[in-house]
Amino acid sequence: MIYPDLEQSVGADLGRVHFVGIGGSGMHGIARMMLSRGHVVTGSDRALNANTAALQQLGVKVYEGHRAENAHGADTLVITGALWPNNPEYLYAKENNLQLLHRSQALAWLTRNRRLVAVAGAHGKTTSTGMLVTGLLGSGADPSFVNGGVIERLGVSAREGADELFVIEADESDRSFLLYETAVALITNVDPEHLDFYGSREAFMRAFVDFATAAKELVVISADDPGALEVREMLPRSTCVVTFGTAATADVRVHNIDLSGEVSFDVSCGAETARVQLNVFGSHNALNAAGAIAVLLHLGSDLQTAAAAVADFGGTKRRFEFHAEVASVRVYDDYAHHHTEVAALLKSVKPVVGAAGRVIALHQPHLFSRTATFYAQFAAALENNADYTIVLPVDGAREDPVPGVTGELVANAFTDQARVAYFDNWADVVAHAAAVARPGDVFITMSCGTAYQIIPDFVAALIARFGDTECRFAADFKLPAGG
């Protein structure tokens, strides 16, 4: 993994910019923003996807695969932390003295001289950023934004706006959220993660304290999350803080939550209360919305306007995203890759499945270091909140394999082995999942890796089993060739 140099000086003119891994969730939005600023942008990725296709439609030259010649003519190379140090484009840039920027440094460059709202937290960042952007647009503002996922109703993850406001999802995994000149910091939660990088829980917590302390105007932080409460206690007394949550002490308080369908709740600030009906599920999304509303109040909105504007949020890609329904088996995908996220997601789904239906979870562990540290917590989250779980091999991403660390660690930690199955082979997963699924079930792939790619084959297997007369699909869903 390649970490950003937090002390690196970035030039005023980036020239021609080449992105290595341009199709990634954190990269394509920055590339889109660079293009809108007038830069010549090119990029490469190991495989083309919907993000690269969207950039190609805008005129960006995107190469499939990584070769040194892809970077020829570039002045600046933008990379992700997940890049391997032997990447040929990266090596070419070093050998030819191109300006090398981590994606977070490129994002910091874009936000210069803007009133920056940075959203951080172990989970909920992408959704909260999407809610905040939606709320600002609904309140009459026109912010620039770069999010980690596509905001469904806007169809993009990034866009240049006319206002001074700039909203970003800020990544805590490598301390890069400390790069930004933040005006308003929104902290969704502080659940210790990425300890392979930080080395200790204390260092992780300290980074959040530093992030919050640097906010020039305001810190909006959870009143419910234990880690957030701990961070708040460590902040200097001079820090301006607004809290949100279900706690009676919260400045922006959530209450009367209804989980019988898409979540609704009351939100109160002082003596005023507004009712909010969201288009997404789960109590965790009520809290995400409350954090966004708290920021909107600081930025000048009134409670009723803020609540109504946030309620228009329609979700983000890969956050409980519907793909298909076959014979009343509904198929979704979610980015959940932390055990707390997994538990929150599954709890939000349970009330809406129905008495006869079950929740079938497909879990792809992400990173060997995370799996080794938290496999028991993942097993508990899955066993306690899903009816049946299928576990895949670990998606190592930027990490080398670790002997003995496999998806079987998660599966073997289940108390009831009848409620879990582990498979090395994806074809076996498809066959098994299609065989155990029954009408009324909800099937969810959960990973920030590649597990979602199994969905078309799984849907095709369901159609082969149940027939194609009772089907509905998301607008962009495609069955595999011949399916």
Residues acting as catalytic residues: 125-126, 169
> Under a CB-based contact definition with an 8 Å cutoff, are residues 326 and 151 in contact?
no
Q: Which amino acid is at 236?
A: P
- Greatest Cα pair distance, the chain, in angstroms, is 64
DSSP code at position 147: E
> Under a CB-based contact definition with an 8 Å cutoff, are residues 433 and 360 in contact?
yes
State which H helix or E strand residue 442 sits in. Answer: strand 442-446
Rounded Cα–Cα distance for residues 293 and 267 (Å): 9
Torsion angle, CA of 71/73/78/84, rounded to 10 degrees?
20
> Under a CB-based contact definition with an 8 Å cutoff, are residues 260 and 238 in contact?
no
Extended beta strands in 13-164, E state: 17-20, 41-45, 61-64, 76-79, 99-102, 115-120, 144-151, 156-159
DSSP code at position 424: S
Give the DSSP letter string of 38-52. Answer: T--EEEEESS--HHH
Phi-psi map region of 379: left, alpha, beta (phi>0 left; psi -120 to 50 alpha): alpha
On the 0-12 / 13-18 / 19+ scale of CB atoms within 10 A, 86 is: exposed
Rounded Cα–Cα distance for residues 278 and 267 (Å): 12
Phi-psi map region of 414: left, alpha, beta (phi>0 left; psi -120 to 50 alpha): beta
Pull the structure tokens for residue 155. 């169809």
Task: Specify the length of the chain in residues.
Answer: 483
Q: Which amino acid is at 172?
A: E
Q: Distance between terminal CA atoms of the chain? A: 38
